[in-house]
Amino acid sequence: DQQVKQNSPSLSVQEGRISILNCDYTNSMFDYFLWYKKYPAEGPTFLISISSIKDKNEDGRFTVFLNKSAKHLSLHIVPSQPGDSAVYFCAASARLTGGGNKLTFGTGTQLKVEL
Amino acid sequence: DTAVSQTPKYLVTQMGNDKSIKCEQNLGHDTMYWYKQDSKKFLKIMFSYNNKELIINETVPNRFSPKSPDKAHLNLHINSLELGDSAVYFCASSQELGPGGTEAFFGQGTRLTVV
């Protein structure tokens, strides 16, 4: 039961163009969403996040959009750069009754930015 | 200066052996996690500790036992290793930023190979 899904395993974009990575979720209890970037042989690193009470958050070249009614979020990278080539994981957070949060990850999208 | 460090980075061992992976965070976070990334690249949560208390225990074989001696450490002990245990194991830590806000920091991963 994959509660967070990234249906595109890979995406190829030309340098300078926009990259759009998509993510869908099924659990209405998720109240915070995050994007992580992962290079080979390294751990995932936090990129950008959005609270469920917002529909957009922007940080430099990165913007995350949230459509709660559709249970869909997307990450826009513009302009795309070769250094953006990595695997991008979407993650969703839900609070636990005993304290703490549980992060559930999507399956990842491999982004390749070509010259 | 590494925020979340796990050792060893690589671990090759024979079936049936018992091994441990150590994790330490110097961020002062209350919550620590173990994630498993299998051959299909899924990042699945295994365990989570909040203030040294186990709060998440996903469907993981009993051969896996986490131990948190203090808030800064969460070690993973694996008994009777099997071929299917081969994967990359990531440790992470987080602090609640607000309602649902959880930015988790990851270690660099431990690549476990069971032969």
Bridge-based pairing of strands B110-114 and B10-13 is parallel
pLDDT of residue A112 exceeding 70: yes
Nearest CB among B41, B94, B105 relative to A108 is that of B41
CA distance B53 to chain A (A): 10
A55: left (phi > 0), else alpha (psi -120 to 50), else beta? Answer: alpha
Q: Which strand ranges, in their side-by-side order, compose the sheet holding A72-77?
A: A4-5, A19-25, A72-77, A62-67, A56-59
> B59 and chain A: CB distance < 8 Å anywhere?
no
Residues of A in contact with B41 (CB under 8 A): 87, 107-108
Asked if the Cβ–Cβ distance from A103 to B45 is below 8 Å, we say: yes
Q: What pLDDT does B104 receive?
A: 87
Summarised one tens digit per residue, pLDDT across range B20-33 is: 999 999 999 888 99
Q: Is the pLDDT of residue B99 over 70?
A: no
Beta strands A4-5 and A101-105, pairing class: unpaired
Q: Which range among A34-38, B15-19, B101-105, B107-111 shows the weakest confidence by mean pLDDT?
A: B101-105
- Supply φ then ψ for residue B34, to 5 degrees: -120, 130
Contacts of A68 (CB under 8 A, 6+ apart): A52, A55
A86-97 residue pLDDT tens: 999 999 988 877
The answer to whether the Cβ–Cβ distance between A98 and B53 falls below 8 Å is: yes
CA distance B48 to A95: 13
Report pLDDT digits (tens) over A46-84.
Answer: 999 999 999 999 999 999 999 999 999 999 999 999 999
pLDDT the model gives residue A59? 95
